Amino acid sequence: MFDYFEIREEIREEIGKGKEGKPVVALESNLITHGLPFPENIDTAFQMEKNIRDQGAVPATIALINGKIKVGLTHDEIERLAHSQNVVKASKRDLSSLVAKGMDAGTTVALTMWIAHRCQIVFFATGGIGGVHNSYEGEYSMDISSDLIELSRTPVAVICSGVKAILDIPRTQEYLETMGVPVLGYQTEELPAFYSQSSHLRADYLLKDPQEAAQVVWDHLRLKLGTGLIIANPVPTEFALSKKKVDHWIEQARKLAHKENIKGKQLTPYLLNKVKELSEGRSLKANIELLKHNATIAARIALSYHQIGIKS
């Protein structure tokens, strides 16, 4: 199977060292190809990697390059993805076709989780997970993100700022509960709402620091519960937006998407872009800052997890 993978030497060595190596934190590439505009996509990708290194861990940005599953991109490869106009947004169902056709692709949360797990990477930092789309879309089209399915069957800890704000957060939380996926609040008792610090929904449990978060992940994996975990980390206070304002912008964006018949893979990037326009760029700034912050927190938790392994 690993004929399909190309794991950067530094990452392969650290994983191979086990307790003697540094922890590795996975990063998705869909934020580079579809989530952020140029040049913010390049700057944010580089800064997330730097934040992880600054904490003493090793970043592993994941993507498809020429049909190869790349675990750990070079700067040139990140720039290649950021500049390209024809890169595919890839989830698990796309993988075999993209590999066979030798294509480039940015990996979604679902596919990044699957690849990380195959490479023995426990921690993954991203912005927000996909979920259940709002009623008039979800009820008729069954538009439910494969991120939720992957979380139900792939034991990776996903550090994020909750569910993307454009989605139906209460229904997504219910779905995660049904699938047995714990939703844990990092230094918060409430589930963040991506651009906003609270969705007014309670997280399952509060994690007070990296050590407690690492212990929960350690026990979850040793119990072989079989699911991933969400560690929901709020956007930093100075960049947080009012949920009331965000909800208003999202409703306007949804109406435009419905009018223009935007669906499927195109819906999420369309809505995010419209919210960026309506917020005069404030949502983009919040998105960038929460991504960078999540990378830092993921590295801190990964380091604490690594210490538990050394002592065990």
Fold classified for 2-311:
Indigoidine synthase fold (3.40.1790)
Terminal alpha carbon distance of the chain: 31
Residue 305 has, within 13 A of its CA and on its CB side, a CA count of: 27
Model confidence, pTM: 0.94
Euclidean distance between CA atoms 127 and 141, whole angstroms: 25
Task: State the pLDDT confidence band at 272, using cuts at 50, 70 and 90.
Answer: confident
As a whole number, mean pLDDT of residues 178-204 equals 97
Checking if the pLDDT of 130 tops 70, the result is yes
In sequence order, what are the residues at sequence separation of 6 or more whose Cβ sits closer than 8 angstroms to the Cβ of residue 115? 5, 26, 62, 69, 71, 107
- Answer for the pair 195, 287: CB distance below 8 angstroms, yes or no: yes
State the pLDDT at residue 141: 55
State the pLDDT at residue 1: 62
Residue 154 is which amino acid?
T
- Answer for the pair 159, 294: CB distance below 8 angstroms, yes or no: yes
State the pLDDT at residue 138: 43
Question: What are the structural domain ranges in the chain?
Answer: 2-311
Residue 211 has, within 13 A of its CA and on its CB side, a CA count of: 0
Catalytic residues: 28, 164
Locate 8 and state its tokens: 């950067």
Q: Over the stretch 90-129, which tens digit does the pLDDT of each residue have?
A: 999 999 999 999 999 999 999 999 999 999 999 999 999 9
Euclidean distance between CA atoms 304 and 99, whole angstroms: 36
Q: Over the stretch 31-76, which tens digit does the pLDDT of each residue have?
A: 999 989 999 999 999 999 999 999 999 999 999 999 999 999 999 9
Q: Over the stretch 232-246, which tens digit does the pLDDT of each residue have?
A: 999 999 999 999 999
Percent of the chain at pLDDT > 70 equals 96
State the pLDDT at residue 306: 97
φ/ψ region of 198 (left if φ > 0, alpha if ψ in -120 to 50, else beta) reads: beta
Cross-strand pairs, 105:
64, 88
Angle, helices 267-278 vs 282-311, to 10°: value is 120
As a whole number, mean pLDDT of residues 264-280 equals 86
Angle at the Cα of 236 from the Cα atoms of 231 and 242, rounded to 5 degrees: 100
* Cis status, amide bond into 39, omega within 30 of 0: yes
Q: Over the stretch 281-311, which tens digit does the pLDDT of each residue have?
A: 999 999 999 999 999 999 999 999 999 999 9
